[in-house]
Amino acid sequence: MSGVILGLPGSWADDNREPSDHYTTKVGGLPDFPFQNVNPTLLDCSQCGNKLCLILQVYAPVSIERTGIDERLLLIFGCLTPECGNSKLGWRALRVQKPCNQEFSKVSQEISPLTTSTSATNTNWWEQLDEEIDEEMDLEELSRAFSGAATEVSHAKKIPSRSDSKIITKSLTWSPTRVVDLKTPVLPCFYIYTEEEPSSKDISLCSNYASLSIKENQSDAEDSIQEETWSEEVYEYDKALTADRTYLKFKKKLDAYPEQCFRYSYGGKPILGRAEDGEAGKCRACGGSRHFEMQLMPPLLYFLQEEADERQKQLLETWNWMTLLVYTCSENCSKSSEKSDDGDWMITEESVFVQFEKPLNGSAGVGFFSTT
């Protein structure tokens, strides 16, 4: 069984180009390939030919039937060239993997697709938005994979932890050798910790309390400043009420954790910003079907812009996507034309589906962080 793991912002890197290891989950910086001599063309933009920059690196091991755990890394890249920011060709996802030394390659149902259940007797349409995307989940296995897999494969590595979260951060015990190319574009780098997303029923309970508080504030407003603030909030949600239900589901999930940089759900369901279907295509290596694995969320762009220099801020403004959806081989295959020198590691390009931001009601400039 699988649910949703949220990637939340941790500490900023001391140096955006500082090396870590492939067990690290981070935003920006340089990719930490677990081997040398990576084919440089893999990091070239398909549209303009310029070098892609790392957006997100996620250590994502997958449990294999009757075996251990694949060492597995997902890398998502983007092009900073203005013309490529609005193009689907300016994005790339790579799956870097070291298979277990076993004959079995079938992905275990230990991490299985989510199922949806909707109550037909519920008449509250706002709560139905939750139920339509709520999943019966048991995250114990998936969380263990995130927080414990690095220890299993390295035998010595220890991942720091918090009492209420699973931390995936930079290694203090292994320092890879890496030649830094100063010409490679680098985004501001910060590390990620993860939390399990609670069920929508728990979120709805919190939302109900928040709604009561808002209504009380509205009725008890005593000065013009409070009234002005409330009118801005009402306007924002009034605009949302004119949007389709797909966007409302997306926004409600985003509002529940406004700092979420990515959502991970192996074989699960994405939350879409727009009612449009993307074609995941077939795995380039084995020809099998692809399934959803993770998606990048708008707060990631906000945090990057906060630390970017002036030139980078201008370039990042051309990235106007609502979400980037990453689809990977459903068989987690180990076939690839790109392999490390020792043959232990393989690289496969996976599918990225981009949902670009579309102004509400045809009004230009209305975005996720717009309040007026």
- CB atoms near residue 146 (< 10 Å): 23
Q: What is the pLDDT of residue 242?
A: 55
Distances (CA, A) of 231 to 9, 224, 235, 250, 258: 31, 10, 6, 23, 21
Q: What average pLDDT does range 117-144 have in this prediction? A: 47
Name the packing angle between helices 224-241 and 200-219 (round to 10°).
140
Whole-angstrom Cα distance, residue 6 to residue 9? 10
For residue 324, list its beta bridge partners: 296, 354
Closest CA to 110 of 149, 58, 77: 149
DSSP-derived letter for residue 13 is P
Yes or no: say if 49 and 79 are a contact pair by the CB < 8 Å rule.
no
Name the band, by pLDDT with cuts 50, 70 and 90, for residue 153.
Answer: very low
Inter-residue contact 9 to 169 (CB < 8 Å): no
Per-residue confidence band for 14, with pLDDT thresholds at 50, 70 and 90: very high
Please state, in angstroms and as integers, the Cα–Cα distance from residue 60 to each residue in 8, 70, 73, 328, following that order.
Answer: 15, 9, 6, 12
- Higher per-residue pLDDT: 306 or 244: 306
Gap between the Cα atoms of 246 and 252, Å rounded: 10
pTM of the model: 0.71
Quickly state the pLDDT bin for 81 (edges 50, 70, 90): very high
Query: What's at 343, amino acid-wise?
Result: G
Instruction: State the Cα–Cα distance between residues 94 and 44, nearest whole angstrom.
Output: 12
User: Using CB atoms within 10 A of its CB, is residue 182 exposed (0-12), middle (13-18) or buried (19+)?
Assistant: exposed
User: In which band, very low, low, confident or very high, does the pLDDT at 308 lie, cut at 50, 70 and 90?
Assistant: very high
pLDDT confidence bin for 205, thresholds 50/70/90? low
Q: Which residue has 């927080």 as its token pair?
A: 147
Q: pLDDT tier at 118 (50, 70, 90 boundaries)?
A: very low
Closest C-alpha among 199, 102, 107, 174 to residue 145? 107
Helix (H) or strand (E) holding 31: none
Q: What is the mean pLDDT of residues 26-52?
A: 93
Three-state secondary-structure class, residue 193: strand
Position 208 confidence tier, pLDDT thresholds 50, 70, 90 = low
- pLDDT band at residue 249 using 50, 70 and 90 as cut-offs: very high
What is the reported pLDDT for 372? 30
* Number of neighbours of residue 131 by Cβ within 10 angstroms: 17
* Per-residue DSSP letter, 348: E
C-alpha to C-alpha distances, 97 to 62, 133, 191, nearest whole angstrom = 10, 31, 21
Task: Evaluate if residue 215 carries a pLDDT over 60.
Answer: no
Closest to 30 in 3D by CA, of 188, 264, 155: 188
> How far apart are the C-alpha atoms of 114 and 134, rounded to whole Å?
9
The yes-or-no verdict on residue 44 having pLDDT over 50 is yes
Q: Which of 2-16, 145-159, 294-308 has the lowest average pLDDT?
A: 145-159
Beta bridge partners of 264: 5, 294
Residue 103 has a pLDDT of: 46
Q: What angle do CA 208, 140, 172 make, to 5 degrees?
A: 105
In whole angstroms, give the CA distance from residue 268 to residue 133. 11
Contact indicator for 38, 175 with CB cutoff of 8 Å: no
